[in-house]
Structure formats: C-alpha cells, structure tokens
C-alpha cells in the first residue's frame, strides 16, 4: 500500500503515547536520547504509525538501519523461513550455512577486492571492537589514530575511539589507552563549521607534520580509523582526494586503514561501501546498521592475511546468528539489484531540492552528502551553528508527520530508507521547508 502524505489524527504525543512514555520514564535508562515523543507501533516501507494511529514519513530509517524500508516483504520472508528452521546455534562453536553464505557474499563485495575474511558480531560498536583488536593483533602495534567528530560506538573500546560529544565520554575514564585524535577533513573544524573544499589536506599532512614529529613514532601506530563520511559528527563529506591521501600516509608507515562504514555502508550513499567514492581499498571495514534491515548484525571484513588470529582470540555467542544472516542476505540482494541505484538517484533529487531552499532561507548554511545520506546545516548570524533552531525544526517536522534526526552541532540529517520514491522525496522537502519557515525567527 502506498500513501501520499502523513496523517496526524491525534497531535503527538497523543493519549496512548503519553501513557507509554510515562511507563518508559519509570523503567528505561535515562541515557537514551529521544529528541521528541514518538512511540512507534508499526512500520511499512517508508511509513511508520505511532500508538495513537498517526502516520509519519520516516526520514530516519530507524537510525539508518531500515535500509530496505520497514518490514520489506522479502526480508520478512527470509526471517520467517530461517526462524522456522534454526534461530540460534552459535557460530563460535558450530557451523551453519547462512553465516557461511553471508561471509562469501561480503568477501566478494568488499571494497578493493582481494581475499577477505569476516568476523560476525551484533552491532556497530562490536564491529569496531573487533577491528581495533585485530589491528593491534595483526601489527603488534598499540596506537590507533581516530578523528574529532568521529563516532564509533559506546562500548569502552569503541568509546575510546569516539570523539563526537563530551557527554559520550564524561564519567567513563579511564578509557582504552593508545588512541590519538586528530581533526577530520579540517573543514568541519573551521570557524564556521561548514565544509570548505579548499581546506583539503591540512588534516592529512597533520599526521606526518605534527603527530609523527611531536607525539608518536609511526612504528607504534597500528591503524587509522576513519568514517568515509562522518555521520554523528555532522554528515561531513571529505574532499575528493582526502581518503587517497590518508591511505598513502598509512601505507608509507605500514599502518592499517580501517573504514567505519557502520552508518554510510551497504548502499546508502549509492555505492555498496562509501569508501568506493574515493577509490580506496581499506585493510579492514566495519559494517552494521543497514546490513540486515533491522536485525542485529555487526560485520568486520578484513584482508585475509590480517585475520590470522587463533581460535579463542575473538568470538561472540550471538554474533552472526542465522536469522540476522538470512535477513542480511536478503537485504544485500535487494540493495544490489534495486535500491543502491535508487539511493543514488533519490539522493540527487533530495540534494537538488534542498539546495534550492538555500536561496529562500539564509539559515541554511550548507547542504551536503552523498546518496541518501544528506545533511542540512542550520546557521544563524555570521553563519554560526544554530542548534536551537535545528531542534525546533525536527520537532515541528514530527508534529507535521515526518521523522527526522540531527547530527553534529546543528545539522539535520536525511537518511530515509533506500526504497524511497520521488514523490516521497518531494514530500520530505516540502515538510522540511514548511517546518523551517514556521520555526525560523
Ligand atoms: C559510524 C558509526 N560507527 C559505529 C556506530 C555504533 O553502532 P551501534 O550503535 O550499533 O553500536 C555508529 C552508530 O551510530 C556509527 O554511526
């Protein structure tokens, strides 16, 4: 069934939502970050319904997870078929076909080609933990370079690599030692917090000119961990030569390059892996979120000659369970055959539409992204980030029937399911502009 518009029958939060939120408040960890009171009951394609029967256009895709939309029939069927046969056996101690088939598929798809091996876990943070441990193990080196603005998860290892917001780290010290943070694609850290392509390599040369000169010897560095497009940090797209330059620095010093594709991978940017836009072959790739359309799955893909650790060195009871693997196989098939191209085309339509809004709204400081990973940065006088306006706009979008989230200091991120159609893109732009017009002062 396709719908042409949201439907708000009980202004949210309606009575049912209020009652659920009251119960949630009593029992759920207050560390969750709900930006507005949306209590979801069901989803279908790009639409979700709340417990009061309101229908929303979902431009969040459950935090970039529901890549094939909510409850895609082929994914549901794959889950159902697998669940009827085998739900769990633990790939740590036993073999099962779904896991092997998925590993073969991913090794074939890995960016850069060459033989690969796969480790399965349950989340983005776990995929990063594996990459971190493997880099240390394979190189015998301890240190790892990560970036300001980077988000890699909240387990202690992943958190040590994350430098996106102080609240993520506050109170959890001591973190894992050996992490060196440097500026990302410099542009994000410029005075106006906007992307300036002229910044190009400043941060890449920083590694050799500053870090290796004053702080650490390159022989101590196991890996550079980078998001091809920074996600939580503000949907920052580095300049065209950036990742190539980073890879050259890494290769010069025998350092591994790890691509965190947890948010940008699996077709979202119009290529299977976002790093393909830069023609770079990372040594290790971490994937999660969109790979299994909502079933929990983390994947760490590594060069075969790196993943040589012995039995017991790393494992996970639930990682790569049969049902998640079946969902991932169905997701990858759909993304490859249909939705990756759609993400590219719909992304271009979305970017073009949002860019036209810039001439009408001075508070839009920048529109950037690739495929269906698009950020709109809202600014105020002298083009400073405007987080208050950003929050007001996403709340207004919610009241108008569209779910959308923020990232960075004041960026609104469009990350709809990859199945989205032209009319729904136009609708998203329309709702966004209406919300913006009502909220800007
Ligand atoms: C780039 C990136 N890496 C890692 C993670 C952590 O993933 P998870 O929340 O599944 O642990 C996230 C989550 O937002 C992410 O965006």
| Partners of 44 in the β-ladder | 47
Name the burial class of residue 151, with classes exposed (0-12), middle (13-18) and buried (19+) by CB atoms within 10 angstroms of its CB. buried
Helix axes 422-439, 340-358, angle to 10 degrees: 30
Question: Could you give the angle at the alpha carbon of 188 between the alpha carbons of 286 and 169, nearest 5°?
Answer: 60
**What pLDDT digit, counting tens, does each position of 120-146 carry?**
999 999 999 999 999 999 999 999 999
Q: How do the residues of the chain divide into helix, strand and coil, expressed in percent and rounded to 5?
A: 40, 20, 40
CB-based contact 38:17 (threshold 8 Å): yes
**What integer best gives the mean pLDDT of the chain?**
94
The CB of 123 under 6 Å from ligand 1? The reply is: yes
The CB of 164 under 6 Å from ligand 1? The reply is: no
| Mean pLDDT, range 405-429, rounded to an integer | 97
| Mean pLDDT, range 7-31, rounded to an integer | 98
Domains of the chain in start order, with CATH, are 15-71+340-439 (3.90.1150.10), 74-335 (3.40.640.10)
| pLDDT on residue 190 | 42
Ligand 1 center to residue 177 CA distance, Å?
A: 21
The CB of 288 under 6 Å from ligand 1? The reply is: yes
The CB of 290 under 6 Å from ligand 1? The reply is: no
Question: Could you give the angle at the alpha carbon of 332 between the alpha carbons of 368 and 288, nearest 5°?
Answer: 65
The CB of 48 under 6 Å from ligand 1? The reply is: no
To test the ligand 1 pocket, which listed residue (61, 147, 151) has its Cβ within 8 A of the most ligand atoms?
A: 151
| Mean pLDDT, range 380-394, rounded to an integer | 93
Name the burial class of residue 311, with classes exposed (0-12), middle (13-18) and buried (19+) by CB atoms within 10 angstroms of its CB. exposed
The residues near 152 (Cβ < 8 Å, ≥ 6 apart) are: 124, 125, 128, 146, 158, 159, 161, 162, 225, 227, 260, 262
DSSP state of 290: G
Ligand 1 center to residue 186 CA distance, Å?
A: 22
Helix (H, G, I), strand (E, B) or coil at 3: coil
Cα 172 to Cα 158, 275, 306, 364: the distances in Å are: 12, 31, 31, 36
User: Is the whole model's pTM more than 0.85, yes or no?
Assistant: yes
* Total residues belonging to the chain: 441
Ligand 1 center to residue 388 CA distance, Å?
A: 25
Determine phi and psi for 342, rounding to 5 degrees.
-60, -40
Check whether 99 has a pLDDT greater than 70: yes
**What pLDDT digit, counting tens, does each position of 68-79 carry?**
999 999 999 999
Check whether 200 has a pLDDT greater than 80: no
To test the ligand 1 pocket, which listed residue (124, 126, 154, 260) has its Cβ within 8 A of the most ligand atoms?
A: 124
Ligand 1 center to residue 152 CA distance, Å?
A: 5
Helix axes 97-109, 322-334, angle to 10 degrees: 40
CB-based contact 49:55 (threshold 8 Å): yes
Q: What is 160-178 written as a DSSP string?
A: HH--S-HHHHTT--S--S-
């Amino acid at each position: 069934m396709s719908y042409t518009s949201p439907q708000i029958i009980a202004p949210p939060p309606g009575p049912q939502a209020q009652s659920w939120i009251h119960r949630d408040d009593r029992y759920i960890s207050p560390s969750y970050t709900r930006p507005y009171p949306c209590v979801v009951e069901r989803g279908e394609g790009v639409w979700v319904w709340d417990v009061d029967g309101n229908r929303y256009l979902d431009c969040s895709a459950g935090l970039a997870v529901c890549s094939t939309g909510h409850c895609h029939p082929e994914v549901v069927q794959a889950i159902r078929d697998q669940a009827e046969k085998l739900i769990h056996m633990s790939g740590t101690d036993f073999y099962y076909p779904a896991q092997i088939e998925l590993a073969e598929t991913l090794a074939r798809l890995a960016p850069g080609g060459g033989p690969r091996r796969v480790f399965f876990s349950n989340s983005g943070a776990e995929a990063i933990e594996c990459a971190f441990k493997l880099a240390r193990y394979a190189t015998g080196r301890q240190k790892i370079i990560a970036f300001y603005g980077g988000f890699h998860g909240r387990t202690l290892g992943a958190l040590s690599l994350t430098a996106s917001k102080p609240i993520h780290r506050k109170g959890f010290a001591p973190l894992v030692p050996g992490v060196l943070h440097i500026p990302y694609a410099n542009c994000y850290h410029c005075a106006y917090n906007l992307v300036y392509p002229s910044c190009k390599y400043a941060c890449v040369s920083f590694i050799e000119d500053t870090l290796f000169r004053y702080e650490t010897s390159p022989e101590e560095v196991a890996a550079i961990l980078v998001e091809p497009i920074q996600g939580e940090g503000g949907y920052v797209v580095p300049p065209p030569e950036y990742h190539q330059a980073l890879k050259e620095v890494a290769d010069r010093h025998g350092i591994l390059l790890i691509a965190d594709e947890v948010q940008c991978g699996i077709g979202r940017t119009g290529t299977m892996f976002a790093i393909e836009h830069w023609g770079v072959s990372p040594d290790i790739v971490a994937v999660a979120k969109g790979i299994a359309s909502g079933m929990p799955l983390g994947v760490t893909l590594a060069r075969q000659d790196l993943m040589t650790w012995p039995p017991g060195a790393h494992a996970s009871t639930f990682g790569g369970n049969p049902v998640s693997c079946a969902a991932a196989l169905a997701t990858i098939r759909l993304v490859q055959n249909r939705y990756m191209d759609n993400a590219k085309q719909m992304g271009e339509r979305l970017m073009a539409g949002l860019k036209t809004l810039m001439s009408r709204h001075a508070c839009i400081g920048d529109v950037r992204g690739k495929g269906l990973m698009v950020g709109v940065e809202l600014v105020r006088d002298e083009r400073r980030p405007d987080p208050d306006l950003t929050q007001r706009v996403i709340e207004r979008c919610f009241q108008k029937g569209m779910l959308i989230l923020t990232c960075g200091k004041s960026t609104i991120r469009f990350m709809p399911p990859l199945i989205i159609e032209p009319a729904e893109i136009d609708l998203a732009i329309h709702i966004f502009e209406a919300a913006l017009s009502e909220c800007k002062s």
